[in-house]
Amino acid sequence: MSMSENGRAGEHATMDDVARLAGVSLKSVSRVINAEPHVSARLREKVEAAISALNYVPDTAARSLAGSRTFIVGLLFDNPSPNYTMNIQKGVYEACRANQYHLRIDNVDSSAPRAEYEARLLGLVSNSRCDGFILTPPLTDDVVLLDFLDRSGIRYVRISPALQAQRSPSVCIDDAQAAASLARHLWELGHRKLAVVLGPERHLAAARRRDGFIAALAELGLPEPVREVPGNFSFEGGIRAGTELLQDGPRPTAIFATNDDSAAGVMAACAQAGLRVPADISVAGFDDSWIARSVWPYLTTVNQPIEEMGYAAASLLLRKGEPQNTPHLLDYSLVVRDSTAAPLRA
Amino acid sequence: MSMSENGRAGEHATMDDVARLAGVSLKSVSRVINAEPHVSARLREKVEAAISALNYVPDTAARSLAGSRTFIVGLLFDNPSPNYTMNIQKGVYEACRANQYHLRIDNVDSSAPRAEYEARLLGLVSNSRCDGFILTPPLTDDVVLLDFLDRSGIRYVRISPALQAQRSPSVCIDDAQAAASLARHLWELGHRKLAVVLGPERHLAAARRRDGFIAALAELGLPEPVREVPGNFSFEGGIRAGTELLQDGPRPTAIFATNDDSAAGVMAACAQAGLRVPADISVAGFDDSWIARSVWPYLTTVNQPIEEMGYAAASLLLRKGEPQNTPHLLDYSLVVRDSTAAPLRA
DNA sequence: TTGTAGGCGTTATCAA
DNA sequence: TTGATAACGCCTACAA
């Protein structure tokens, strides 16, 4: 009943109306709408005129009932930083819009017990009747989910996969290279005592950042090992990590946190410890998400074109034809801001 | 568990399958699914058994084509802080899920030229065929949109409306009272030189925070006027506002920013100016969004139960029967953290 | 290049 | 309390 006394809201034109106004058959209208071949220019014009005259918009429900597509893209996300998520979502949304698709959101909570979580996830995916899904980390590397999708023949595109990169279409940057460029930046500033704050265990892209960072330093000839402490991509995890680094063991002159949120936490820990950033200690992050400019000093970080990645992922998903399983690589860039500087001379 | 034996995609059971297995008619299954009256307990049991045996889930497309509902809730948002948005979205999502509805996202960009923006917005709303919409500020108070929705008979629920609160169902907290409680907190700490960082002009809830703050101080007998500077709810706007407050005119001992993002910016401006928070100056925000704990010191602020507000809004939208136009008021709470303290004695 | 008939999985109408 | 049967708006055959 709710919408029923719609009064006028239901006054949408249908394909019939368009056909009648244009003086053609139903099927011809359908052809024009779906850009099918074998349509004369004259007919197309007539139909298009009628469409815009009537302000006709195809009914998605009818379309998906009759056809094989639902015109819905599902975006699955877990629970990463809100900044990252919003950016991805924005990109995916824009690509959907450009292709006349709708965007449907589904949240899953990976902190739930694993069995429950899996049941939920698979239920979502199989009942949601989307034309395909966009997966963000850490879902990107969830093998149970991937197996299920493959077995069911459901299309999907992964963002920043770290596992089995050739398994499906995907979009990513070169995390290792990006972290390496950050390592070189710190090295060139003169830092030789370095530390890295790790990401969540299942977030494999974070592991690649760590690897790239350390490998680059090794190549440059760093004399001593890089200290490593756990983190979980959260601000609070960053505080804990920073505190640990500053209290015990040899104090680093520069800290690389594998995402911006934890880098911000590290900066807070420095402030607590009475250290000035970057005068006393340098801090760098990864993502260039919104928080990188919501801290003071502004964070030196690696820019991932997150929104673009979302856009590219959805475009890949919606592209017709055989999906390409080679990762679609986007450019990153080193963003040097105010949180890194040369170390004090001892 | 259960999902995996689904075998192949597309092999969804239909109402026919259920009816056959249960040995009843199609319509009876429909009745059970829609919880219609006049169904015997025995029949219902049989049907329910068949449903779960077949793992049947109604096809939304068919449902909305045949019926009057689409089972889709649309969430419209503009471009406020990502934190706020994600929280609202989460709440709305959960409520949809609880009611077997889907969530569809639509972004609009209010920074586009007004005419274009309006056309886009109205097009979205009228073609989207959702059962209703959730509006967040500043869309909440967009009269053109409201008029259009009312004229079209489309249901909607507004979150934190500041205009014509009785016009539609809505969810909010008492912004003025909440800001007043913050004012009293600062007053009790001993602050007498106060400033407020305003919100975006069209964000009327922000204006109510300002009003409540100032009115409370007036009532307490504040001897001098509260300084007011513009802000736009962004971190950068907060930096500008803070800088202005610290450079020119009489320096306040406490600054109230009307949202957390700008409060974080104010804190950054203080740091730049060499002031310690809260020793030299107190800063307070509003929202208790995620950024309130992503700065150091942690921000004193007002907690709005944002996710709950989203949940309540969607529940209101989905509730059957005549909508209630009295605002659904939720509780706020003052969250005293580390960014406020007694002023230094001059 | 264009048009016609049938059906997709539900809900709605009306009768039993 | 139940059940046939006709929509709903579009797409996929297939025919002209």
Planar angle of CA B335, B338, B339, nearest 5 degrees: 95
pLDDT per residue over B221-241, tens digit each?
Answer: 998 999 999 998 889 999 999
Mutate which of B89, B283, B294, B318 to disrupt the A interface (most A C-beta within 10 Å)? B294
Question: In this structure, is the CB of residue A59 within 7 Å of any atom belonging to strand D?
Answer: yes
Mutate which of B3, B63, B79, B87 to disrupt the A interface (most A C-beta within 10 Å)? B3
Task: Please tell me whether residue A112 adopts helix, strand or coil conformation.
Answer: coil
**CA gyration radius, chain A:** 25
Residue type, A128: S
**What are the angstrom distances between the C-alpha of A289 and each of A26, A87, A260, A312, B298?**
49, 8, 7, 18, 20
Strands A254-257 and A282-284: parallel
Query: Which chain A residues have a beta carbon less than 8 Å from that of B131?
Result: 2-3
Q: Which residues of B41-70 are buried (b: 16+ CB within 10 A; e: fewer)?
A: eebbebbeebbeebebbbbbbebbbeeebb
Fold of A1-58: 434 Repressor (Amino-terminal Domain) (1.10.260)
* Domain limits, CATH 3.40.50.2300, in chain A: 66-173+307-330, 175-305
Q: Which segment, A186-195, B22-31, B126-135, is predicted with the most confidence on average?
A: A186-195
Residue type, A58: P
What pLDDT is attached to residue B5? Answer: 34
Average pLDDT, rounded, for chain B: 91
Alpha-carbon span B272 to B70, nearest angstrom: 53
Amino acid A27 CA to nucleotide D14 C1' distance, rounded Å: 13
Backbone angles phi, psi at A195, to 5 degrees: -140, 155
Judged by a CB distance cut-off of 8 A, whether residue A314 touches chain B is: no
Out of B59, B85, B102, closest to residue A86 by CB: B85
Looking at the complex, report in whole angstroms how far the Cα of residue A271 sits from the nearest Cα belonging to chain B: 8
Say if residue A6's pLDDT is above 50.
no
8 A C-beta contact, residue B132 and residue B73: yes
Q: Would you say domain B66-173+307-330 falls under CATH 3.40.50.1220?
A: no
Judged by a CB distance cut-off of 8 A, whether residue A111 touches chain B is: no
Alpha-carbon span A109 to A222, nearest angstrom: 40
Which nucleotides on strand C sit less than 7 A from a protein beta carbon?
A: 1-13
Out of B3, B61, B82, closest to residue A64 by CB: B61
Backbone angles phi, psi at B47, to 5 degrees: -65, -45
Alpha-carbon span A57 to A59, nearest angstrom: 6
Q: Would you say domain B175-305 falls under CATH 3.30.365.10?
A: no
Q: Do B93 and A106 touch (CB under 8 A)?
A: yes
| pTM for this entry | 0.86
Average pLDDT estimate for A231-246: 94
Q: Which of residues 270-309 of B touch A (CB under 8 A)?
A: 271-272, 290-291, 293-296
* Domain limits, CATH 1.10.260.40, in chain B: 1-58
pLDDT per residue over A206-230, tens digit each?
Answer: 999 999 999 999 999 998 999 999 9
Average pLDDT estimate for B10-39: 89
Tokens of B18: 């259920």
Tokens of B75: 């969430």
Paired strand residues for B76? B106, B135
A68: which nucleotide lies closest, measuring CA to C1'? Answer: D11
Nearest-CA neighbor of B295 among A273, A338, A294?
A: A294
B26: which nucleotide lies closest, measuring CA to C1'? Answer: D3
